[in-house]
Structure 1
Amino acid sequence: MFPTIIRRAAQKGAEEIPLIYTNPYKAKRLWPPDFEKMSPKHQFRLERRFRRRSKLQWARPRWTKAVKMVQFGSIVFVAVYGVLFLDWDGMGNPEHPPFQTIRTWFFGLTGNIWGRDQVRRRDAPDEASPVSSSDS
Protein backbone atom coordinates (compact mmCIF):
# COMPACT_ATOMS: atom_id res chain seq x y z
CA MET A 1 0.00 0.00 0.00
CA PHE A 2 2.67 2.50 1.01
CA PRO A 3 4.99 1.79 -1.94
CA THR A 4 2.08 2.43 -4.32
CA ILE A 5 1.32 5.79 -2.71
CA ILE A 6 4.96 6.79 -2.79
CA ARG A 7 5.30 5.71 -6.44
CA ARG A 8 2.19 7.64 -7.47
CA ALA A 9 3.34 10.73 -5.61
CA ALA A 10 6.73 10.54 -7.33
CA GLN A 11 5.19 10.08 -10.80
CA LYS A 12 2.65 12.89 -10.61
CA GLY A 13 4.63 15.26 -8.49
CA ALA A 14 3.73 16.28 -4.96
CA GLU A 15 2.73 19.81 -6.01
CA GLU A 16 0.20 18.83 -8.65
CA ILE A 17 -2.22 16.43 -6.91
CA PRO A 18 -2.40 15.85 -3.17
CA LEU A 19 -2.63 12.22 -2.02
CA ILE A 20 -6.16 12.75 -0.72
CA TYR A 21 -7.61 13.18 -4.22
CA THR A 22 -5.99 10.08 -5.73
CA ASN A 23 -8.64 7.70 -4.37
CA PRO A 24 -10.01 5.64 -7.31
CA TYR A 25 -13.22 4.93 -5.37
CA LYS A 26 -15.15 8.15 -5.27
CA ALA A 27 -17.93 8.56 -2.72
CA LYS A 28 -21.44 8.75 -4.18
CA ARG A 29 -22.74 11.05 -1.44
CA LEU A 30 -21.31 13.58 0.95
CA TRP A 31 -20.79 12.10 4.40
CA PRO A 32 -21.88 12.97 7.02
CA PRO A 33 -25.05 14.43 5.55
CA ASP A 34 -26.68 17.56 6.86
CA PHE A 35 -29.45 16.21 9.08
CA GLU A 36 -31.13 19.60 9.40
CA LYS A 37 -32.09 19.54 5.74
CA MET A 38 -33.51 15.98 5.83
CA SER A 39 -36.96 14.74 6.65
CA PRO A 40 -37.32 12.74 9.89
CA LYS A 41 -38.15 9.62 7.90
CA HIS A 42 -34.95 9.85 5.89
CA GLN A 43 -32.94 10.57 9.04
CA PHE A 44 -34.34 7.42 10.65
CA ARG A 45 -33.48 5.33 7.58
CA LEU A 46 -29.89 6.58 7.61
CA GLU A 47 -29.54 5.97 11.34
CA ARG A 48 -30.94 2.45 11.02
CA ARG A 49 -28.59 1.67 8.15
CA PHE A 50 -25.62 3.09 10.08
CA ARG A 51 -26.50 1.03 13.18
CA ARG A 52 -26.82 -2.15 11.15
CA ARG A 53 -23.52 -1.62 9.38
CA SER A 54 -21.69 -0.74 12.57
CA LYS A 55 -23.02 -3.91 14.25
CA LEU A 56 -21.78 -5.98 11.34
CA GLN A 57 -18.43 -4.24 11.38
CA TRP A 58 -17.82 -4.72 15.09
CA ALA A 59 -19.26 -8.25 15.35
CA ARG A 60 -16.73 -10.75 16.65
CA PRO A 61 -18.34 -14.20 16.41
CA ARG A 62 -15.24 -16.20 17.36
CA TRP A 63 -14.57 -14.00 20.38
CA THR A 64 -18.23 -14.20 21.48
CA LYS A 65 -18.22 -17.97 21.13
CA ALA A 66 -14.97 -18.27 23.08
CA VAL A 67 -16.32 -16.10 25.90
CA LYS A 68 -19.53 -18.16 26.07
CA MET A 69 -17.55 -21.41 26.18
CA VAL A 70 -15.30 -20.11 28.97
CA GLN A 71 -18.32 -18.95 30.97
CA PHE A 72 -20.08 -22.29 30.49
CA GLY A 73 -16.94 -24.20 31.44
CA SER A 74 -16.42 -22.19 34.61
CA ILE A 75 -20.06 -22.67 35.66
CA VAL A 76 -19.84 -26.43 35.10
CA PHE A 77 -16.52 -26.61 36.95
CA VAL A 78 -17.89 -24.78 39.99
CA ALA A 79 -21.02 -26.93 40.03
CA VAL A 80 -19.09 -30.22 39.76
CA TYR A 81 -16.56 -29.10 42.36
CA GLY A 82 -19.32 -28.02 44.72
CA VAL A 83 -21.21 -31.30 44.40
CA LEU A 84 -18.32 -33.78 44.38
CA PHE A 85 -15.29 -32.27 46.11
CA LEU A 86 -16.32 -29.37 48.37
CA ASP A 87 -16.23 -30.11 52.10
CA TRP A 88 -19.81 -29.59 53.27
CA ASP A 89 -19.24 -30.97 56.79
CA GLY A 90 -19.06 -27.57 58.47
CA MET A 91 -22.37 -26.46 56.95
CA GLY A 92 -25.71 -27.77 58.13
CA ASN A 93 -26.13 -31.27 59.51
CA PRO A 94 -22.73 -33.08 59.71
CA GLU A 95 -24.40 -36.50 59.88
CA HIS A 96 -26.12 -36.10 56.51
CA PRO A 97 -24.11 -33.72 54.31
CA PRO A 98 -25.76 -32.56 51.08
CA PHE A 99 -25.02 -34.48 47.89
CA GLN A 100 -23.66 -37.45 49.86
CA THR A 101 -25.60 -39.98 47.79
CA ILE A 102 -24.23 -38.50 44.56
CA ARG A 103 -20.70 -38.54 46.03
CA THR A 104 -20.88 -42.17 47.11
CA TRP A 105 -22.30 -43.19 43.73
CA PHE A 106 -19.61 -41.27 41.79
CA PHE A 107 -16.67 -42.39 43.90
CA GLY A 108 -18.06 -45.93 43.86
CA LEU A 109 -17.77 -45.84 40.08
CA THR A 110 -14.34 -44.24 39.99
CA GLY A 111 -12.92 -45.54 43.27
CA ASN A 112 -11.04 -48.47 41.76
CA ILE A 113 -10.33 -47.06 38.31
CA TRP A 114 -6.63 -48.03 38.28
CA GLY A 115 -6.96 -51.38 40.06
CA ARG A 116 -7.54 -54.82 38.58
CA ASP A 117 -10.53 -55.71 40.71
CA GLN A 118 -13.89 -54.75 39.35
CA VAL A 119 -16.28 -53.03 41.70
CA ARG A 120 -19.77 -54.50 41.68
CA ARG A 121 -22.81 -52.34 41.96
CA ARG A 122 -24.86 -52.94 45.08
CA ASP A 123 -28.19 -53.10 43.26
CA ALA A 124 -26.98 -55.74 40.74
CA PRO A 125 -28.13 -59.27 41.59
CA ASP A 126 -25.40 -61.56 42.81
CA GLU A 127 -25.02 -64.52 40.43
CA ALA A 128 -23.31 -66.80 42.94
CA SER A 129 -25.92 -66.30 45.66
CA PRO A 130 -28.28 -69.20 46.35
CA VAL A 131 -31.91 -69.01 45.37
CA SER A 132 -34.00 -67.12 47.87
CA SER A 133 -36.17 -68.99 50.40
CA SER A 134 -39.37 -67.66 48.86
CA ASP A 135 -39.10 -70.18 46.00
CA SER A 136 -39.56 -73.23 48.25
Structure 2
Amino acid sequence: MFATLVRRMAGGPLPSRLRNATATPLVEAYSSPYKPKKIWPPDFSKLSQKEQFRFERRYKRRVKLATARPRWDKLVRLTQLFSVTFVLIYSVLFMDWQTENQPLQGFRNRFWSVLGAFSPEQRDERRTPDIAVIANSK
Protein backbone atom coordinates (compact mmCIF):
# COMPACT_ATOMS: atom_id res chain seq x y z
CA MET A 1 0.00 0.00 0.00
CA PHE A 2 2.73 2.46 0.95
CA ALA A 3 4.86 1.39 -1.99
CA THR A 4 2.07 2.30 -4.41
CA LEU A 5 1.55 5.63 -2.69
CA VAL A 6 5.26 6.47 -2.87
CA ARG A 7 5.43 5.44 -6.54
CA ARG A 8 2.48 7.65 -7.46
CA MET A 9 3.91 10.62 -5.60
CA ALA A 10 7.29 10.17 -7.27
CA GLY A 11 5.69 9.83 -10.70
CA GLY A 12 5.01 13.55 -11.09
CA PRO A 13 1.89 15.36 -12.23
CA LEU A 14 -0.75 13.70 -14.39
CA PRO A 15 -0.86 14.46 -18.10
CA SER A 16 -3.47 17.05 -19.03
CA ARG A 17 -5.74 14.59 -20.84
CA LEU A 18 -5.90 12.33 -17.73
CA ARG A 19 -6.46 15.28 -15.42
CA ASN A 20 -9.52 16.38 -17.43
CA ALA A 21 -10.81 12.81 -17.67
CA THR A 22 -10.73 12.38 -13.90
CA ALA A 23 -12.37 15.74 -13.23
CA THR A 24 -15.38 15.28 -15.53
CA PRO A 25 -17.10 12.39 -13.67
CA LEU A 26 -17.21 14.50 -10.50
CA VAL A 27 -18.76 17.42 -12.33
CA GLU A 28 -21.25 15.15 -14.06
CA ALA A 29 -22.25 13.61 -10.76
CA TYR A 30 -23.36 16.98 -9.40
CA SER A 31 -25.01 18.27 -12.54
CA SER A 32 -27.56 15.78 -13.73
CA PRO A 33 -29.22 16.22 -17.14
CA TYR A 34 -32.55 15.52 -15.42
CA LYS A 35 -33.87 18.54 -13.58
CA PRO A 36 -36.02 17.94 -10.50
CA LYS A 37 -39.75 18.52 -10.83
CA LYS A 38 -39.98 20.20 -7.44
CA ILE A 39 -37.51 22.38 -5.59
CA TRP A 40 -36.61 20.97 -2.21
CA PRO A 41 -37.04 22.22 0.41
CA PRO A 42 -40.06 24.22 -0.65
CA ASP A 43 -40.51 27.86 0.38
CA PHE A 44 -43.10 27.54 3.11
CA SER A 45 -43.98 31.23 3.03
CA LYS A 46 -45.40 30.74 -0.48
CA LEU A 47 -47.47 27.66 0.40
CA SER A 48 -51.00 27.57 1.71
CA GLN A 49 -51.76 26.22 5.19
CA LYS A 50 -53.06 22.98 3.73
CA GLU A 51 -49.93 22.40 1.63
CA GLN A 52 -47.69 23.24 4.60
CA PHE A 53 -49.55 20.72 6.73
CA ARG A 54 -49.28 18.09 3.99
CA PHE A 55 -45.50 18.62 3.68
CA GLU A 56 -45.06 18.55 7.43
CA ARG A 57 -47.06 15.33 7.81
CA ARG A 58 -45.14 13.65 4.99
CA TYR A 59 -41.80 14.77 6.44
CA LYS A 60 -42.71 13.51 9.92
CA ARG A 61 -43.81 10.15 8.55
CA ARG A 62 -40.59 9.75 6.58
CA VAL A 63 -38.43 10.73 9.54
CA LYS A 64 -40.30 8.26 11.74
CA LEU A 65 -39.74 5.46 9.22
CA ALA A 66 -36.08 6.36 8.74
CA THR A 67 -35.34 6.42 12.47
CA ALA A 68 -37.38 3.35 13.43
CA ARG A 69 -35.44 0.79 15.47
CA PRO A 70 -37.91 -1.97 16.33
CA ARG A 71 -35.50 -4.29 18.12
CA TRP A 72 -34.13 -1.50 20.30
CA ASP A 73 -37.62 -0.20 21.08
CA LYS A 74 -38.79 -3.68 22.04
CA LEU A 75 -35.76 -4.16 24.29
CA VAL A 76 -36.38 -0.82 26.00
CA ARG A 77 -40.08 -1.62 26.53
CA LEU A 78 -39.26 -5.06 28.00
CA THR A 79 -36.60 -3.57 30.27
CA GLN A 80 -39.04 -0.97 31.53
CA LEU A 81 -41.71 -3.61 32.13
CA PHE A 82 -39.37 -5.90 34.08
CA SER A 83 -37.85 -3.08 36.14
CA VAL A 84 -41.23 -1.63 37.13
CA THR A 85 -42.57 -5.11 37.95
CA PHE A 86 -39.49 -5.90 40.05
CA VAL A 87 -39.71 -2.63 41.99
CA LEU A 88 -43.41 -3.15 42.72
CA ILE A 89 -42.96 -6.75 43.87
CA TYR A 90 -39.94 -5.83 45.98
CA SER A 91 -41.68 -2.86 47.61
CA VAL A 92 -44.83 -4.85 48.39
CA LEU A 93 -43.28 -8.13 49.61
CA PHE A 94 -39.73 -7.48 50.84
CA MET A 95 -39.05 -3.79 51.54
CA ASP A 96 -38.70 -2.64 55.13
CA TRP A 97 -40.70 0.60 55.36
CA GLN A 98 -39.12 1.71 58.66
CA THR A 99 -42.54 2.54 60.09
CA GLU A 100 -44.54 1.14 62.97
CA ASN A 101 -47.57 0.24 60.86
CA GLN A 102 -46.38 -1.11 57.55
CA PRO A 103 -48.98 -0.34 54.88
CA LEU A 104 -49.01 -3.72 53.16
CA GLN A 105 -48.37 -6.03 56.13
CA GLY A 106 -51.76 -7.76 55.85
CA PHE A 107 -51.16 -8.58 52.20
CA ARG A 108 -47.63 -9.82 53.00
CA ASN A 109 -48.88 -12.12 55.76
CA ARG A 110 -51.62 -13.55 53.55
CA PHE A 111 -49.21 -14.03 50.61
CA TRP A 112 -46.51 -15.77 52.66
CA SER A 113 -49.06 -17.97 54.43
CA VAL A 114 -50.45 -19.11 51.06
CA LEU A 115 -46.94 -19.62 49.71
CA GLY A 116 -45.89 -21.35 52.93
CA ALA A 117 -48.63 -23.92 52.39
CA PHE A 118 -46.51 -25.33 49.57
CA SER A 119 -43.41 -25.87 51.76
CA PRO A 120 -42.44 -29.49 52.57
CA GLU A 121 -43.23 -29.11 56.30
CA GLN A 122 -46.71 -27.75 55.60
CA ARG A 123 -47.31 -30.43 52.97
CA ASP A 124 -46.63 -33.16 55.53
CA GLU A 125 -48.94 -31.47 58.03
CA ARG A 126 -51.70 -31.37 55.45
CA ARG A 127 -51.29 -35.08 54.73
CA THR A 128 -51.35 -36.36 58.31
CA PRO A 129 -54.95 -35.29 59.09
CA ASP A 130 -56.07 -36.99 55.90
CA ILE A 131 -54.36 -40.22 56.98
CA ALA A 132 -55.89 -39.97 60.44
CA VAL A 133 -59.36 -39.46 58.99
CA ILE A 134 -58.91 -42.49 56.72
CA ALA A 135 -57.65 -44.64 59.64
CA ASN A 136 -60.63 -43.64 61.80
CA SER A 137 -63.13 -44.41 59.10
CA LYS A 138 -62.00 -48.06 58.87
TM-score, structure 2 as length reference = 0.59
Measure, in 1, the Cα distance between the counterparts of 2:97 and 2:124: 26
Greater CA drift, 98-107 or 122-131: 122-131
Measure, in 1, the Cα distance between the counterparts of 2:65 and 2:73: 14
1:65 corresponds to: 74
1:35, 1:43 within 8 Å by CA — same for their partners in 2? yes
1:3 corresponds to: none
Query: Which has the larger share of helix?
Result: 2
TM-score, structure 1 as length reference = 0.60
1:88, 1:97 within 8 Å by CA — same for their partners in 2? no
> Counterpart amino acid of 2:133?
P
1:33 match: secondary structure: coil
Q: CA RMSD in A?
A: 3.9
2:44, 2:52 within 8 Å by CA — same for their partners in 1? yes
Question: Which has the bigger relative contact order, CA under 8 A and spacing at least 6?
Answer: 1
> Counterpart amino acid of 1:53?
R
| Greater radius of gyration (CA) | 2
1:89, 1:97 within 8 Å by CA — same for their partners in 2? no
2:105 corresponds to: 97
Q: Between the two proteins, what is the percent identity of the paired residues?
A: 36
Q: Which runs of 5+ in 1 are unaligned?
A: 1-9, 113-117
Q: Which runs of 5+ in 2 are unaligned?
A: 1-18
> Counterpart amino acid of 1:63?
W
2:116, 2:122 within 8 Å by CA — same for their partners in 1? no
